[in-house]
Amino acid sequence: MPLSALIVDDEQLAREELKYLLDSLGDVEVVAEGSNGYEAVELIEEYAPDLVFLDVQMPGLDGFAVIEHLVEKVRSAPAGQTVARLPHFVFATAYDHYAVRAFDVNALDYLLKPFDRRRVEEAVDRARVRSIGAAQPAPDPAGSTESQLEALLRLLNKPGFESRTPPAKIVVQTQNRMLLVDQTEVCFASVDEGVIRIVTRAVEGQARSRTLEELQEQLDPAVFWRAHRGYLVNINHIREVVPWFKSTYQLRMDDKAQTEIPVSRAQTRHLRELFNL
């Protein structure tokens, strides 16, 4: 019997990529998709899936807040009331730092973006083992999903734990305005005659940085990739990979103009590794 799965991520491209990988496994049924934490809570209660792929960084209600809500519901249930078991959670994140160590400590699973098929398969295998174990009589409470999630929440609430720190903002100058733009909103940056241009879905302007290298140092290395000497792209905003001449590629971005960005020959191998081409 296939595992039922729910995907919650505010990036449509990430949802599509993950669903494609899960569908390719053949024994996982994606029953629903959500784009924010509020939808995650509703869909988990509606579908009671075996497995939830939950983005950590989401606007409004983030992945950790979703966990807090569900764990609190289990805690506050009246004595004797049957409460549906919590699903197996796989956290998705582009930030390989505190959060990843927290998941390791508490035996919870995580995936780093961009997704790797082998890691997705391993996460599904772990969920299947836990689902089988949960069906056995008298499971060990110390190893329950609820206990592991509570341990994670205790760690998150410790002073000095910074996994919830929002991504740094960068300054974008457009006409006479200085806008603070979240890193996640940046589609790509380019250089033309020494001017660094930053493009998001909503705005376009100049960076305060003097070079692309200087700008790249301010950005998350897990997300921003130097696809070409003149371009720095946010891999979460790549809409399409377009085959080009002589085994090269172009990237069609998801900005308003659907800008096409060349991939240098030196970066072609990295592109294939990113998306399993």
Q: pLDDT at position 258, please?
A: 95
Determine if the pTM surpasses 0.75: no
Indicate the DSSP class of residue 216: H
Delineate the domains of the chain, giving CATH numbers in brackets.
3-156 (3.40.50.2300), 169-275 (2.40.50.1020)
Cis amide prior to 114 (ω within 30 degrees)? yes
For 219-225, which contacts have Cβ atoms below 8 Å and span 24 or more sequence positions?
219/170, 219/183, 219/186, 220/94, 220/95, 220/167, 220/183, 222/94, 222/95, 222/96, 222/112, 222/113, 223/94, 223/113, 223/183, 223/184, 224/183, 224/186, 225/267, 225/270, 225/274
Interval 228-276: pLDDT, tens: 999 999 999 999 999 887 778 999 999 999 999 999 988 988 888 887 7
Q: pLDDT at position 108, please?
A: 63
Asked if the model's pLDDT at residue 18 lies above 60, the reply is: yes
Percent of the chain beyond pLDDT 70?
78
Asked if the model's pLDDT at residue 50 lies above 60, the reply is: yes
Which segment of 15-19, 68-72, 195-199 scores lowest on mean pLDDT?
68-72
Q: pLDDT at position 32, please?
A: 97
The more confidently predicted of residues 188 and 87 is 188
Label residue 133 by pLDDT band (50, 70, 90): low
Residue 237 has a CB neighbour count (10 Å cut-off) of 21
Average pLDDT value over all residues in the chain: 81
The backbone torsions φ and ψ at residue 199, rounded to the nearest 5 degrees and listed phi first, read -125, 130
Asked if 189 contacts 212 with a C-beta cutoff of 8 angstroms, the reply is yes
